[in-house]
């Protein structure tokens, strides 16, 4: 006969008396009792827990010392087992992590994949781990699905398998694995419990109605109550969602693994303990129990390569990832510490952790005989909780300390506030049916009595209470538990003399001239700045660019705060250089990579790696990407980077690399081909077309020397027929550079535009085109200043004043980087002093004196004419090359009307200068 028969009858009677729909309620209530009875009758002892629950940790510590099991089956990812021994080298809380970047069998959009399982000292799983690792002859077996199976269960239609919402602190967007997720999955049930419990959030309800009553309960009562709660939440879980199905798959997996282990080792179930969440202890799958249905097949893992390690965690990260109330994990830690200090239980700790060395447990004695299951639920549910008196010493200490903290943070708190917080805490506890005020009551009382209209500092009173009750404890992974890359980083930065484990900002000063041995540290810091998140390594003084070398550098380092990022670098390679090379290679071979991306990778490889072979490989990829591009959106970036790289190679190498020559020649032909279509395309901006012309004109000399044909550029310009004003101006500038449009004609066209009232509103666009042309045709600088000056001089105020804002905004939007060039040219053109302005004449309006014409019929006189008459062969040869026929003029014969004679007659100064040099 079931020991819970009386309780079942009592619940059925209550359901018949009070339920409006007795057909459903009796089934639920009797099902709860059946689940408890089934779990407690199982041959393999089931220990139900709740994640980060001090009550579970206390019950676990007591049960382990009492039973001394030889095998512990733990609900944790089975592939995380090798990491557990490294917990000795860490300061809790930390998280076990599985990480994968190279995916095989999962959608590409899911990567990188990350699974974390946080561990705190106030948790039952830590007690089980510490017991198993510190007790000889005890085997710890992880039986939950592997990290690969966790993601196999994710719906494939999701774009990403990561947790939704904002990043959860130190855990980032990793998928969290927890033992004992005890929270109602029926929203109306949780709302009902919070309302009638007179609490604000689930963590407070759990502390009041579960944690405190079970903290000192006996083991049988603890087990029955936890299974009852798990059964209640399970039976009220909606069956339409996928979550319940995934939970049942986990349970089938765990029971299958346990049966396989028992069969392989022939272990006695009486010496074993199965630690799982209370939700899974009330499982109803057919595979439940050692006598359950066998034959469940576990799917194989994918070919994804998983990497494992430990990352730092914190109370706030755990709360954010698992939806707990802020400060609840810190309060749980404080409750655990108080229970341990009170005595009555001696917890397990890993040898050497946190400076405490524990004694090893004795060898496991024979397992005690199984005691018959008795009903402890009836008494627990019918008996009112034992109400302890107010712990005055603890509450008074809290009240005094919170006033002290409030004063330090700018609040005008006094002793009267401490008394008010004390009395209000007792009042709130009484209103919530509590005799002993909890930390949550104290928090509310402190906020009510101390916090005023505004917060004077960075922390409000609720945050101060969290600090007082333990704060946001942040864990740290020890040196010995770090991956090889992270240890290498710490070793290479050791000459700086800093404690990189600290979470505070540390300043590193490097005088590279006086201390050349610090140059490797500087090089590593620049690579870490490239690889780590913003803020981890921040340069205050110094730079790393092509052709530059810093003499002194100053850095702000917060590597201790970003230890997780450093650890995850270790999943990608053994050294920082290897990780950097892999990332650069992955960036340039990405399907969305462009030529600008490849050139950026080339520059980074020169700065950080110094491998000529790898740099040439990236450069060859840049040539491929440029020839495959069908747009010119990245032309400005391409031009800027290839200029810088060419300048670097010209200054440091005897000759250009082969990929540079190929990039210039390929880019010359590529941009010549795309130039006509870019001029007329609406989706191509004037800046992109200006950059194309800048590449063609500035690289023209090098391209021609490498075998390119200038006719390509001339044909491309002649085939371009833009309509947009800015692009028209760019085309005029290009034709002027090629000699197809004389400067006088260009000036005349601009004068016509200024004289046309219909064109005046769009004239700023023409100016924008001319300004963009300064990059490709810098000799047009004086002309652009001339055009703008004429516009300001000729336009009336009624036209000029509305026209100025458009000019400024257009220049700022289209040519902001070239306006300083224009300003410098204007500074050279206009007078430097105000007093010179009255007598200053614009250079484009100044008249140039023309030399007096020499009569054609007169024979030129002077030493030059004598020299030329004495040696006519040279002049005749030049005239023949020019196609000119003419006779020489002498004193006796009149001059012939030939071109050579006319040239000498009109320009005697040149011949006179030559004669002077020859001494004639």
Query: What's the pLDDT at 572?
Result: 82
pLDDT of 870 strictly over 80: no
Mean pLDDT score, 33-52: 83
Query: What's the pLDDT at 598?
Result: 92
Q: By the 8 A CB rule, do 115 and 177 touch?
A: yes
- Phi, then psi, of 744 in degrees rounded to 5: -65, -40
Taking the C-alpha atoms of residue 625 and residue 639, their distance in angstroms, rounded to an integer, is 15
Encoded tokens for 102: 């190279």
pTM: 0.70
Residue 4: partners with Cβ closer than 8 Å, 6 or more residues away: 33, 36, 37, 375, 377
pLDDT of 156 strictly over 80: no
Per-residue buried b or exposed e for 621-654, using 16+ beta carbons within 10 Å of the residue's own CB: bbbebbeebeebebbbbbbbbbeebbebbeeeee
Taking the C-alpha atoms of residue 665 and residue 700, their distance in angstroms, rounded to an integer, is 9
- Closest CA relative to residue 791, chosen from 767, 821, 825, 815: 767
Mean pLDDT score, 337-344: 76
pLDDT, tens digit, for every residue of 758-799?
888 888 888 888 888 888 888 888 888 888 888 888 878 877
Query: What's the pLDDT at 852?
Result: 47
Residue 621's pLDDT band (cuts 50, 70, 90): very high
Taking the C-alpha atoms of residue 910 and residue 812, their distance in angstroms, rounded to an integer, is 48
Residue 44's pLDDT band (cuts 50, 70, 90): confident
Residue 96: partners with Cβ closer than 8 Å, 6 or more residues away: 76, 77, 80, 83, 84, 116, 117, 119, 308, 310
pLDDT, tens digit, for every residue of 246-274?
888 888 888 888 888 888 888 888 889 99
Per-residue buried b or exposed e for 581-614, using 16+ beta carbons within 10 Å of the residue's own CB: bebbbebbeeeebbbbbbbbbbbbbbbbbeeeeb
Residue 164's pLDDT band (cuts 50, 70, 90): very low
Q: By the 8 A CB rule, do 119 and 125 touch?
A: yes
Measured N-to-C along each axis, helices 612-628 and 595-604 cross at an angle, to the nearest 10 degrees, of: 170
pLDDT, tens digit, for every residue of 109-118?
777 788 888 8
Query: What's the pLDDT at 772?
Result: 82
pLDDT of 893 strictly over 60: no
Encoded tokens for 508: 């590193």
Average per-residue pLDDT in the chain? 79
pLDDT of 889 strictly over 80: no
3-state secondary structure of 515: coil
Q: By the 8 A CB rule, do 726 and 769 touch?
A: yes
Query: What's the pLDDT at 602?
Result: 92
Residue 616: partners with Cβ closer than 8 Å, 6 or more residues away: 657, 658, 659
Q: How much of the chain, in percent, has pLDDT values that exceed 70?
A: 80
Taking the C-alpha atoms of residue 87 and residue 310, their distance in angstroms, rounded to an integer, is 8
pLDDT of 855 strictly over 80: no
Say which range, 163-177, 325-339, 538-552, 602-616, has the weakest mean pLDDT: 163-177
Residue 612: partners with Cβ closer than 8 Å, 6 or more residues away: none
In this structure, the dihedral spanned by the alpha carbons of residues 623, 628, 631 and 636, taken in order and rounded to 10 degrees, is: -10
What is the radius of gyration, based on Cα positions, of the chain?
A: 42
Encoded tokens for 148: 């690969």
Query: What's the pLDDT at 31?
Result: 74
pLDDT of 857 strictly over 50: no
Query: What's the pLDDT at 162?
Result: 45
In which residue are the tokens 């990829």 written? 621
Query: What's the pLDDT at 92?
Result: 84
Query: What's the pLDDT at 230?
Result: 83
pLDDT of 669 strictly over 60: yes
Instruction: Write the burial class of residue 117 (CB in 10 Å: 0-12 exposed, 13-18 middle, 19+ buried).
Output: buried
Say which range, 244-253, 449-458, 500-509, 886-895, has the weakest mean pLDDT: 886-895
Taking the C-alpha atoms of residue 438 and residue 646, their distance in angstroms, rounded to an integer, is 70
Say which range, 7-11, 708-712, 779-783, 852-856, has the weakest mean pLDDT: 852-856
Give the residue with greater pLDDT, 207 vs 401.
Answer: 401
On the question of a cis peptide bond just before residue 112, with omega within 30 degrees of 0, the verdict is: yes
CA angle 299/303/306 to nearest 5° reads 100
Taking the C-alpha atoms of residue 492 and residue 496, their distance in angstroms, rounded to an integer, is 9
Which residues on neighbouring strands pair with residue 47, listed in sequence order? 275
Measured N-to-C along each axis, helices 461-468 and 439-450 cross at an angle, to the nearest 10 degrees, of: 140
Residue 601's pLDDT band (cuts 50, 70, 90): very high
How far, CA to CA in Å, does 347 sit from each of 124, 128, 213, 343?
Answer: 10, 10, 20, 10
Say which range, 100-109, 400-409, 899-908, has the weakest mean pLDDT: 899-908
Q: Strands 71-77 and 307-312, how do they pair? A: unpaired
pLDDT, tens digit, for every residue of 364-375?
455 455 566 666
How far, CA to CA in Å, does 534 sit from each of 7, 503, 557, 562, 603?
Answer: 60, 15, 11, 10, 20
CA of residue 872 relative to chain centroid, distance: 80
Query: What's the pLDDT at 436?
Result: 74
pLDDT of 882 strictly over 70: no
Query: What's the pLDDT at 584?
Result: 92
Query: What's the pLDDT at 622?
Result: 92
Q: By the 8 A CB rule, do 63 and 247 touch?
A: no
Residue 918's pLDDT band (cuts 50, 70, 90): low
pLDDT, tens digit, for every residue of 73-130?
998 888 888 888 888 888 888 888 888 877 887 777 777 788 888 888 888 888 888 9
Query: What's the pLDDT at 168?
Result: 46
Residue 186: partners with Cβ closer than 8 Å, 6 or more residues away: 233, 236, 237, 238
């Amino acid at each position: 006969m079931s020991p819970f028969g009386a309780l079942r009858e009592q619940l059925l009677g209550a359901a018949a008396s009070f339920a409006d729909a007795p057909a459903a309620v009796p089934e639920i209530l009797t099902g709860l009792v059946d689940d408890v009875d089934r779990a407690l009758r199982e041959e393999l002892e089931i220990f139900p827990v709740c994640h980060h629950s001090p009550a579970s940790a206390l019950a676990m510590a007591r049960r382990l010392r009492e039973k001394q099991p030889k095998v512990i089956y733990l609900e944790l990812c089975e592939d995380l087992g090798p990491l557990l021994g490294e917990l000795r080298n860490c300061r809790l809380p930390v998280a076990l992590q599985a990480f994968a970047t190279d995916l095989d069998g999962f959608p590409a959009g899911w990567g990188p994949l990350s699974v974390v399982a946080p561990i705190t000292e106030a948790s039952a799983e830590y007690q089980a781990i510490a017991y198993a690792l510190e007790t000889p002859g005890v085997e710890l077996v992880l039986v939950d699905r592997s990290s690969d199976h966790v993601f196999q269960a994710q719906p494939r239609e999701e774009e990403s398998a990561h947790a939704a919402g904002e990043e959860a602190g130190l855990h980032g967007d990793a998928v969290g694995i927890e033992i004992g997720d005890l929270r109602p999955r029926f929203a109306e049930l949780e709302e009902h419990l919070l309302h009638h419990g007179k609490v604000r959030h689930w963590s407070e309800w759990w502390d009041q109605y579960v944690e405190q009553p079970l903290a000192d309960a006996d083991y049988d009562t603890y087990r029955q109550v936890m299974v009852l709660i798990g059964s209640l939440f399970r039976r009220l879980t909606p069956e339409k969602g996928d979550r319940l199905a995934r939970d049942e798959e986990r349970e089938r997996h765990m029971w299958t693994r346990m049966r396989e282990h028992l069969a392989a080792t022939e272990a006695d179930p009486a010496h074993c303990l199965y630690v799982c969440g209370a939700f899974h202890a009330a499982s109803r799958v057919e595979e439940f129990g050692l006598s359950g249905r066998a034959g469940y097949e576990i799917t194989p893992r994918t070919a994804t390569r998983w990497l494992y390690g430990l990352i730092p965690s914190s109370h706030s990260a755990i709360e954010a990832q698992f939806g707990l109330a802020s400060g609840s994990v810190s309060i749980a830690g404080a409750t655990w510490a108080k229970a341990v200090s009170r005595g009555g239980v001696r917890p397990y700790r890993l040898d050497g952790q946190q400076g405490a060395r524990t004694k090893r447990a004795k060898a496991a004695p024979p397992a005690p005989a199984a005691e018959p299951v008795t009903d402890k639920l009836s008494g627990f549910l019918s008996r009112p909780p034992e109400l302890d008196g107010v712990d005055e010493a603890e509450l008074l200490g809290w009240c005094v300390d919170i006033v002290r903290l409030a004063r330090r943070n700018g609040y005008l708190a006094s002793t009267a506030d401490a008394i008010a917080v004390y009395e209000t805490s007792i009042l709130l506890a009484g209103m919530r049916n509590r005799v002993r005020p909890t930390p949550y009551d104290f928090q509310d009382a402190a906020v009510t009595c101390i916090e005023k209209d505004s917060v004077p500092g960075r922390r409000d009173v609720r945050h101060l209470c969290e600090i007082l009750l333990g704060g946001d404890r942040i864990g740290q992974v020890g040196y010995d538990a770090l991956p090889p890359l992270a240890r290498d980083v710490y070793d290479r930065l050791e000459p700086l003399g800093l404690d990189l484990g600290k979470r505070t900002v540390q300043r590193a000063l490097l005088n590279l001239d006086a201390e050349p041995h610090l140059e490797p540290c500087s090089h590593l810091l620049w690579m870490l700045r490239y690889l780590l998140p913003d803020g981890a390594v921040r340069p205050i003084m110094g730079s790393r660019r092509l052709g530059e070398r810093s003499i002194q550098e100053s850095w702000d380092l917060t590597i201790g705060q970003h230890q997780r990022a450093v650890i995850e670098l270790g999943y990608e390679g053994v050294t920082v250089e290897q990780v950097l090379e892999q990332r650069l290679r992955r960036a340039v071979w990405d399907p969305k990579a462009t030529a600008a991306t490849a050139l950026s990778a080339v520059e980074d490889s020169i700065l950080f790696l110094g491998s000529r072979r790898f740099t040439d490989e990236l450069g060859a990829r840049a040539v491929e990407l440029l020839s495959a591009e069908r747009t010119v959106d990245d032309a400005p970036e391409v031009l800027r980077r290839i200029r810088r790289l060419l300048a670097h190679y010209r200054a440091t190498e005897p000759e250009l690399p082969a990929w540079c020559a190929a990039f210039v020649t390929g880019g010359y032909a590529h941009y010549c081909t795309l130039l006509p279509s870019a001029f007329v395309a609406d989706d191509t901006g004037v800046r992109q077309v200006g950059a194309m012309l800048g590449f063609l004109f500035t690289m023209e000399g090098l391209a021609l020397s490498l075998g390119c044909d200038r006719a390509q550029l001339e044909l491309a310009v002649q085939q371009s027929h833009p309509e947009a004003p800015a692009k028209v101006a760019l085309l005029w500038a290009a034709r002027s550079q090629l000699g197809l449009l004389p400067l006088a004609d260009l000036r005349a066209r601009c004068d016509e535009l200024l004289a046309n009232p219909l064109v005046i509103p769009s004239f700023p666009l023409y100016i924008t085109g001319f300004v963009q042309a300064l990059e490709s045709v810098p000799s047009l600088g004086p002309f652009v200043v001339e055009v703008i000056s004429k516009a300001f001089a000729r336009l009336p105020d009624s036209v000029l004043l509305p026209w100025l804002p458009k000019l400024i905004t257009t220049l700022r939007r289209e040519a902001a980087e070239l306006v300083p060039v224009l300003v410098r040219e204007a500074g050279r053109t206009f007078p430097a002093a105000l007093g010179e302005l009255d007598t200053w004449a614009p250079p484009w309006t100044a008249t140039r004196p023309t030399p007096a014409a020499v009569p054609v019929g007169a024979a030129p006189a002077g030493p030059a004419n004598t020299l030329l008459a004495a040696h006519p062969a040279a002049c005749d040869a030049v005239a023949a090359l020019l196609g000119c026929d003419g006779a020489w003029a002498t004193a006796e014969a009149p001059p012939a009307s030939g071109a050579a004679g006319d040239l000498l007659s009109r320009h005697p100064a040149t011949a006179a200068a030559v004669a002077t040099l020859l001494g004639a």
